[in-house]
A and B are shown apart, each in its own frame.
Chain A
Amino acid sequence: MRPRLNALLGGTLMLLVLSTATLSALWTPHNPLRIAMRSRLQPPSALHWLGTDEMGRDVLSRLMAGAGTSCLVAALTVLGAVVLGSGIGLLAGFARGMVDRLLMLVNDALLAFPGILLALGLLAVIGPGQWGIVAALGLAYTPTVARIVRGAVLSLREREFVEASFSIGNSAAYTLWRHVLPGTVSPLTVLATSLFGWAILAESALSFLGLGVPPPAPSWGNMLAAARPYLESATWLSLAPGACIALTLLGVNLLGDALRDHFDPRSRPQ
């Protein structure tokens, strides 16, 4: 019963976020970019359900518009990191020897930097902006994924069913695709969901430094960053994007667990 509930709750949350993001492209209560200095920092009211920010912009509208940006950035980041990282991890874990050592040498050197610092450096090269963030964060998270996948592959490739696959004449590529890669799905889904959370937070940190989604376009990260000076006087400003991030992370995590269980036949009833 519990797993079903997880999937249901996670699915609902994610559906809510995604539909809001889609909706915001067509309609928001107010124009998220319209500045009205006379009505700045208003508490929630019937007109502005979640109040207005330091430039008088409607917070609800900006949240809706930001949902798309934040989730897109995070999802693309995770996708990039997972694809690239699994490729490297599979190659290193399966080939072993010299290939593994070279790949992991570079990988470990990159892992030694905090992800955000690496992204900062990369952003300086790529240039700031939404795509810059995706590329920089994606590359910054790749070494973590590569490490995890390599570990999983190293243990999977010693299992006898991999040897069995060779013994019936399958090629290395087929064996890798059919028998090894599926085994990495469980650790990968867990990792990907937490990466999704980190990516949203990192995006907000980079936006805070002025390297992320450039103002005035809203993202949850830059809204949270902009709300910081008003934490005491206008609490709703930081609460709203904070709650959105938290709920999205909860949704992603629950959904990730449900997906992992779904992909693992052993968790199905006997």
Chain B
Amino acid sequence: MSLALDHAAAPVAASTAPLLAVEGLRVGTGSFHAVEDVSFCVAAGEILALVGESGSGKTATGRAILGLLPPGLERLAGAIRLQGEDLAHVTPARLRALRGGSIGMVFQEPMVSLNPAMTIGAQLGEALALHSDLDAATRRAACIAMLRRVRISDPESCLAAYPHEFSGGMRQRIMLAAVMLPKPRLLIADEPTTALDNLAQAEVLDLMVELARDSGTAVLLVTHNLGLVARYADRALVMQRGRVVEEGPARRLLAAPREAYTRQLVAAMPRRTARPERPTREILLEARGLVVDYPGRVRLLRRLPGKRAVKGVDIVLRRGETVALVGGSGSGKTTLGRALLRLVEPTGGQLLFQGQDVTAGRGAAVRDFRLACQIIFQDPYSSLDPRQRIGEIVAEPLRHEPGLDAASRAARVAETFAAVGLPGLDRRFPHQLSGGQRQRVAIARAIVRRPALVVADEPVSALDMTVQAQILALIRQLQEERGFACLFISHDLGAVVEVADRVLVMQDGMIVEQGSRDAVFDTPHHPYTRALLDATPRLDA
């Protein structure tokens, strides 16, 4: 945070020619234009954020600069000048020399943007070998120094390791190291941390800003997250449907947006509103000392040691309340959520539903419990069977509902579709819907049986900001109407602040802090909670 402040305070060399000038850029194919008449400049050492939702053309703009547009899209018009050199009219050889040398790029998916078959050392050295005339030993030393800069412990052995040996956050730091090694003048970072949890996100971006400042690199940060803009960017450019809607200093833009669309984006940022006071109601689901172990892999004749994902957790969920379960990736929160519904079988401990033991077996109590508890998954692209019409998807849970004839079943499905705001779309297939609409279908499937408890596992983290706000509002509204309890699992405290009555913080398989929402947000006790809060992108940061 202080980094961004210092940066903003530094005088931007506005008088001299900009490092990058994009003029009248149009990208598309035929009559379809993904980017229409986009012009902007990036000054040396400046951090410019390109903000927009899916389909706004922000990624296409970033990629057009490097000439790396996906098949089907091409640059139709406009000039892209890097220090006066028009990138649209240089030879492919010159463009290759610029890529990785003068312009570096960090991609969204750290899992796929590093080559799994090459060692880290080979990939780090690649750009240096291409763009400098250093000998192998000097390159190696530079790699090690850079890995140390991005806080990879034991950089020597890291050089010989393969990408799969590192976590997502570490991989993105390594990616950053690889890109920053040749000291590019411009770094294009396309949603570099979308796949990471908040802790890793803050780590990677803090490093990125620090490295960029040290080598005087300008950064074009492509993102949908206004919180990141507030925290890291000097200036911001808001895009909608391929056009630039608003441009200005990040601080001014977020504090006093001029255009309606920008205001809408800012309004979609989660904020804390007062939760209605509710009387404490009876206990719905209780876990006592819940333990979940994952067995280790079998290698030849021996079994490798497994992993204890949940280490003896006690949880109480009461009727009608919303409890947020928060933690970084690998904290065991998803496993705990699944284990509470017995989608993952607990290895130890006890699960009580309305006072009845439902830890094991298939008795009547367990069946009632199964039917009364539902789940909403994170990824609406994966959680819906692509071969079913959404009407069938929502009707499916009613198979197990006794005493419903075809007509009342159809009525129930129609009523549920109306409740989630998708009336009359039941003949569609999932691929014909947007991400937000799909998540509405997933919600409909979860509530169609009128459950007592819904576990929502990161229900909005795969969605755009404005859509996130809509889905959160929908969940809240349905809960008011229908009174089901909700366990809201998220790594993002920002989303949690809007919906939660109580917050549980999970680290390394254990609940390390719990309390009412305001208590946890205002007076966090555990250092991990404080770290999570610090890492949460906020407008007022």
The answer to whether A and B come from one shared complex is yes
| Residues on A facing B (Cβ under 8 Å) | 159-161, 163-170, 179, 182-183, 263-266, 268, 270
Contact check, B445 vs A168: say whether CB atoms are below 8 A apart: yes
Q: Which residues of A contact B385 (CB under 8 A)?
A: 161, 165, 179, 182
Partner of A167, one of B375, B387, B429: B375
Q: Which B residues lie within 8 Å of A265 (CB)?
A: 386-387, 429, 431
Binding site for A on B (CB under 8 A): 341, 343, 367, 370-371, 374-375, 377-379, 382-387, 396-397, 399-400, 429, 431-432, 442, 445, 449
A168 x B432 contact (CB < 8 A): no
Known: A159-B382, A160-B377, A266-B431. A168 touches B397 (CB 8 A): yes
Q: Can you spell out 26 A-B residue pairs with CB atoms less than 8 angstroms apart?
A: A160-B377, A160-B378, A161-B382, A161-B383, A161-B385, A163-B343, A163-B383, A164-B384, A164-B442, A165-B396, A167-B375, A168-B374, A168-B396, A168-B397, A168-B399, A168-B400, A168-B445, A169-B370, A169-B397, A169-B399, A182-B387, A263-B387, A264-B387, A265-B386, A265-B387, A266-B429
Residue of A nearest to B370 (CB): A169
Known: A163-B343, A164-B442. 16 other contacts (CB 8 A): A159-B382, A159-B383, A160-B377, A160-B383, A161-B383, A161-B384, A163-B377, A164-B384, A167-B375, A169-B399, A169-B400, A170-B400, A179-B385, A265-B387, A266-B429, A266-B431
A169-B371, A170-B396, A266-B386 are known contacts. Are A164 and B429 too (CB-CB below 8 A)? no
| A interface secondary structure, majority | helix
Alpha-carbon distance A170/B341, docked complex (angstroms): 14
Q: Residues of B contacting A160 with CB < 8 Å?
A: 377-379, 382-383
Residue of A with least CB distance to B341: A167
Residues of B within 8 A of A163 (CB): 343, 377, 383
On chain A, the residues within 8 Å of B383 by CB distance are: 159-161, 163-164
Whole-angstrom distance between the alpha carbons of A183 and B384 in the complex? Answer: 13
Nearest CB of chain B from residue A103's CB, rounded to whole Å: 16
Q: Are A168 and B377 within 8 A (Cβ)?
A: no
Chain B contacts of A270 at CB under 8 A? 431-432
Give chain A nearest CB distance to B294 CB in angstroms. Answer: 14
A164 to B396, CA, bound (A): 10
Q: Enumerate chain A residues within 8 angstroms of B343, measured Cβ to Cβ.
A: 163, 166-167
A269 CB, min distance to chain B CBs, angstroms: 9
Which B residue sits closest to A168, measured CB to CB? B397
Residues of B within 8 A of A165 (CB): 385, 396
Report whether A183 and B374 are in contact in the complex, using a CB–CB cutoff of 8 Å.
no
Sort A-B residue pairs by CB-CB distance and give the 3 closest, nearest first.
A160-B383, A168-B397, A161-B385
Give complex CA distance A4, B432 in Å.
21
- Determine the distance from Cα of A42 to Cα of B39 in the docked complex, in whole angstroms: 78
What separation, in Å, do the CA atoms of A262 and B343 have in the docked complex?
A: 34
| CB-CB nearest in chain B for A265 | B429
What is the bound-complex CA distance between A88 and B394, given in angstroms?
Answer: 31
Residues of A within 8 A of B432 (CB): 270
Greatest chain B CB density within 10 A among A164, A165, A182, A265 is at A164
Interface residue from A159, A179, A268 paired with B429 (Cβ < 8 Å): A268
**How far does the alpha carbon of A68 sit from the alpha carbon of B385 in the complex, in Å?**
40
Give chain B nearest CB distance to A39 CB in angstroms. Answer: 58
Complex CA distance for A1 and B449, rounded to whole angstroms: 43
Measured CA separation A168–B429 after assembly (Å):
20
- Contacts A161-B384, A182-B387; A170 near B399 (Cβ below 8 A): yes
Tell me the complex Cα distance, A166–B344, Å. 11
Q: Which chain A residue lies CB-closest to B399?
A: A170
CB-CB nearest in chain A for B398:
A168
Enumerate chain B residues within 8 angstroms of A268, measured Cβ to Cβ: 429
Chain B minimum-CB-distance residue to A162: B385
Asked whether, in the complex, the Cβ of B449 is within 8 Å of the Cβ of A168, the reply is yes
Q: Which residues of B contact A168 (CB under 8 A)?
A: 374, 396-397, 399-400, 445, 449
**What is the CA–CA distance of A265 and B384 in the complex, to the nearest angstrom?**
13
Smallest CB separation, A259 vs chain B (Å): 14
- The residue of chain A having its C-beta at the shortest distance from the C-beta of B397 within the complex is A168
Query: Separation in Å of the A98 CB from the closest CB of chain B?
Result: 10
Q: Quick one: which of A165, A169, A170, A270 has the most chain B CB within 10 A?
A: A169
Bound complex: CA of A270 vs CA of B367, how far in Å? 39
Docked pose: A167 CA to B338 CA in angstroms: 9
Give the residues in chain B near A182, CB-CB below 8 Å.
385, 387
**Separation of A189 and B435 alpha carbons in the complex (Å):** 30
A186 to chain B, nearest CB (A): 10
Q: Which residues of A contact B378 (CB under 8 A)?
A: 160
Shortest distance between the CB of B337 and any CB in chain A (Å): 11
- What A residues does B382 contact at CB under 8 A? 159-161
Q: How far is the CB of A167 from chain B (nearest CB, A)?
A: 5
Q: Which residue of B lies closest to A174 (CB)?
A: B399
* B367: A residues at CB distance < 8 A: 169
How near does chain A come to B7, taking the closest CB pair, in angstroms?
41
CA distance A266 to B375 in the complex (A): 25
| Chain A residues in 8 Å Cβ range of B379 | 160
Q: How far is the CB of A180 from chain B (nearest CB, A)?
A: 10
Q: Which of B377, B384, B385, B387 has the most CB of A within 10 A?
A: B385
CA distance A96 to B343 in the complex (A): 17
Using Cβ atoms and an 8 Å threshold, which residues of chain B touch A170?
A: 396, 399-400
**Bound complex: CA A161 to CA B370 (Å):** 17
Contacts of A169 in B (CB 8 A): 367, 370-371, 397, 399-400
Most chain B Cβ neighbours within 10 Å, of A167, A183, A263, A268? A167
In whole Å, how far is A144's beta carbon from the nearest beta carbon of chain B?
24
Q: How far is the CB of A99 from chain B (nearest CB, A)?
A: 14
Shortest distance from the beta carbon of B387 to any chain A beta carbon, whole Å: 5
Contacts of A183 in B (CB 8 A): 387
> How long is the Cα–Cα vector from A169 to B400 in the complex, in angstroms?
7
Q: In the complex, what's the smallest C-beta–C-beta distance from A94 to chain B, in angstroms?
A: 16
B residues less than 8 Å from A263 (CB atoms): 387
Q: State the CA gap A70–B108 with chains docked (Å).
A: 53
CA distance A169 to B451 in the complex (A): 13
Q: How far is the CA of A179 from the CA of B371 in the complex (A)?
A: 20
- Complex CA distance for A37 and B367, rounded to whole angstroms: 79
Partner of B374, one of A159, A167, A264: A167
Of all chain B residues, which has the CB nearest A268?
B429
Chain A residues with Cβ below 8 Å from B371 are 169
Determine the distance from Cα of A230 to Cα of B378 in the docked complex, in whole angstroms: 67
Contacts of B386 in A (CB 8 A): 161, 265-266
B457, closest chain A residue (CB): A160
Closest beta carbon of chain A to B31's beta carbon, Å: 18
CA distance A164 to B399 in the complex (A): 14
Closest chain A residue to B383, Cβ basis: A160
A179 smallest CB distance to B (angstroms) = 5
Q: How far is the CA of A168 from the CA of B449 in the complex (A)?
A: 9
Closest to A167 in B: B375
Q: How far is the CB of B325 from chain A (nearest CB, A)?
A: 17
B179 shortest CB reach to chain A, Å: 32
Which chain A residues lie closer than 8 Å to B384 at the CB level? 161, 164
B291 to chain A, nearest CB (A): 21
Could you say which of A163, A182, A270 has the most chain B C-beta atoms within 10 Å of its C-beta? A163
Measured CA separation A183–B385 after assembly (Å): 9
